[in-house]
Amino acid sequence: MDTARAAGYFRTPDPAAADPISARQARGGPVEQLPVAPNRRISLFDTTLRDGEQAPGNAMLPEQKLRLALTLEALGVDVVEAGFPASSPDDFTATRLLTTHLSTSKVTSFARASVEDVDTAIEAGGCDANHQVQILATASELHLAYKRGIDRAASVREIRRAAEHAAERGVQDISIAFEDSSRGSDELLQEYAETAGDVGASTVVVCDTSGSQTPAEFGALVARVRGWLPEHVRISTHCHNDMGMAVANALAGIRAGADQVQVTLAGIGERAGNTALEELVAVLAMKGDLFGVDTNVRSELLFDAYHVLQETIGLVIGRNKPLFGQNAFATQAGIHQSAILRNPETYEYLDPERFGRRRSLLVGRHSGRAVLHHLIGEMGLPSDPELVDRLYQDLVVSRGNGECDDLDTLRGRILDHGLVRRDGAGDPSAIGSR
């Protein structure tokens, strides 16, 4: 707790510190331009093709992985994890394909802490500077006892042996992932961190493997690990979403000093998934200055990348899924639509076009007359209150189901309706006769 407090995680925001110029203006004091430190850039490590793919229903062929990897590279992701080469011929082939075809994104191979796995990863991806080998360390007493059946000393020996072997073989970028570190003791994690520094690891991954922590807990953990590592060793975070806090925990990790976040597209992954790439990008696009960070991701390409993933694995997501869901930028509520037609910012904090989406005003039984006034104006019809009222009664409020029409469909229904002539004029006789 003290470490996290020292890192500033629990500090109450000071409005004057957040906006010193406004604070001086409010006091009537002189205003001076203060130097603004540039945001540090957070690296995004995409594990869609490894952690995302190993969840049930998400399997991909090597060629499919390559297509998605090239899409992620175009998106601006810094690192793409190809898979686990020692686990299957397909993952081996995928790793080789990615290291051959990717040019700007680094490729990572996953390996257990064994010489054999490291050798397989090197055979698949080589020792080029653009290929990272990520070695898995068993980082909780629970996993040591019940998953591995070994003690801490044996685990430290295998980490050291695997990492030193990778370095001897010429691997230039070695990452060590502390699996289940959110449930490991400080004594265990500190020894692992010191070992990682000794063997020349460039990155240590702090993992909330079971999604067991809150942002306060995870931020404090990252701060402690940061204190045990040499300054040049990067910290990456790997968070699962079992309690719906993967993005929040990743943000807490950034605030506590993490340099990289491991993410997946649409948050796919084991059980409830991982930190969602698109959600983290959205937060940092809108609130990056609050965290003092930014990313290289081209947010306008996110939805296209999601479509590639959807086509590849047949992914079905909830209508309300942030950024990608069918309803993420859609509304049928009349009060909301009336305000959005005047100024979209009233109910849209996120600009849909910034994230590759389009605004959708849907007309259903919860809609009001404002959207009809808007549509009639677009069609060049006179905004006759009686005409609008009859269209509202016949086309909107009388609908007894949950169906909605988009504006193009409603435009056609208005034209097909007896109250409006095809020449674009209202039909007064029809209004009076109905």
Is 205 in contact with 171 (CB distance < 8 Å)?
Answer: no
Q: Cα–Cα–Cα angle for 176, 181, 187, nearest 5°?
A: 95
**pLDDT tens, 248-289?**
999 999 999 999 999 999 999 999 999 999 999 999 999 999
Q: Report pLDDT for 65.
A: 98
Task: Read off the pLDDT band of 35 (50, 70, 90).
Answer: low
Q: Region of 13 please: left (phi>0), alpha (psi -120 to 50) or beta.
A: beta
* Domain architecture of the chain: domains with CATH: 40-313 (3.20.20.70), 330-433 (no CATH)
Q: Report pLDDT for 221.
A: 98
Q: Report pLDDT for 407.
A: 74
Q: Report pLDDT for 376.
A: 78
Q: Quote the CA–CA distance of 86 and 111 in Å, as a whole number.
A: 7
3-state class (DSSP) for residue 30: coil
**pLDDT tens, 134-155?**
999 999 999 999 999 999 999 9
- Range with the poorest average pLDDT among 2-11, 22-31, 164-173, 401-410: 2-11
Q: What is the mean pLDDT of residues 146-171?
A: 98
Q: Report pLDDT for 102.
A: 98
Q: What is the mean pLDDT of residues 224-229?
A: 98
Is 264 in contact with 277 (CB distance < 8 Å)?
Answer: yes
Task: Read off the pLDDT band of 101 (50, 70, 90).
Answer: very high
Q: Report pLDDT for 50.
A: 98
Q: Quote the CA–CA distance of 169 and 180 in Å, as a whole number.
A: 28
**pLDDT tens, 300-320?**
999 999 999 999 999 999 999
Q: Report pLDDT for 17.
A: 40
Is 119 in contact with 146 (CB distance < 8 Å)?
Answer: no
Task: Read off the pLDDT band of 417 (50, 70, 90).
Answer: confident
Q: Report pLDDT for 230.
A: 97
Task: Read off the pLDDT band of 25 (50, 70, 90).
Answer: very low
Q: What is the mean pLDDT of residues 332-353?
A: 88
Question: Is pLDDT at 21 greater than 90 in this prediction?
Answer: no
Is 107 in contact with 78 (CB distance < 8 Å)?
Answer: no
Q: Report pLDDT for 335.
A: 80
Highest mean pLDDT among 223-232, 395-404, 415-424: 223-232
Q: Report pLDDT for 411.
A: 77
DSSP string for 53-67: TTSTT----HHHHHH
Residue 137's nearest CA partner among 115, 112, 110, 164 is 112
Buried b (16+ CB within 10 A) or exposed e, 190-201: bbbbebbbebeb
Question: Is pLDDT at 384 greater than 80 in this prediction?
Answer: no
49's CB contacts (< 8 A; 6+ apart) are 60, 65, 68, 69, 80, 81, 82, 83, 94
Q: What is the mean pLDDT of residues 342-363?
A: 91
- Range with the poorest average pLDDT among 56-70, 239-253, 379-393: 379-393
